[in-house]
Homo-oligomer: A and B are copies of this chain.
C-alpha cells in the first residue's frame, strides 16, 4: 500500500508558528502631555523608550492538502511572517520606524491587530485561514486577537 499525504478531508487543523522580535517602544499619545501619558501608561510612557523581546505566535487553520498533507507549508508561513512582520519590527523602534504602526499608540493590542492585517491576505493566498495572533510582551503579559 502506498502512503498518502492526508487520509481524510474536511478536518480542521490548527498550525502555530512561533517567531520573535526585539524592539524599542513607548506608549503615549502625542496629544497628551508627558504627565498625562505617565498617569495612564506609567513607566511604559518613558520618553527615552524601553524595549522587549516580543514573542509572536501565528495560528492558521484549514483543511489538509491531499497532495502533501499540510494545512500550509510551514516554511512558506515562516517566510510570510519574516517578510511582512519580523523584518519590519526586529531591532527597530515601533513608534518611529514601523510603517504599519504609524499614528497608533504602540500597545500590544494595536500591534496584534496590525500584524493580523499584515498576515491575513498572504495566508489566504496559500489556501489557509488566519486564526489567531498571540503576542507575549513579558512572561506575565500577553494579548490574543482572532480578527
Residues of A within 8 A of B (CB): 1-8, 11-20, 22-25, 29-31, 40-44, 46, 48-53, 59, 64, 68-71, 73-75, 90-93, 96-97, 102-105, 107, 109-110, 112-113, 138-146
Contact = CB atoms under 8 A, between A and B. Distances in A.
B69 A109 contact: yes
A109 B20 contact: no
Copies in the complex: 6
Contacts of A44: 91
B16 A104 contact: no
A130 B92 CA distance: 32
Given A30-B3, A50-B23, A142 B15 contact: yes
Contacts of A12: 145-146
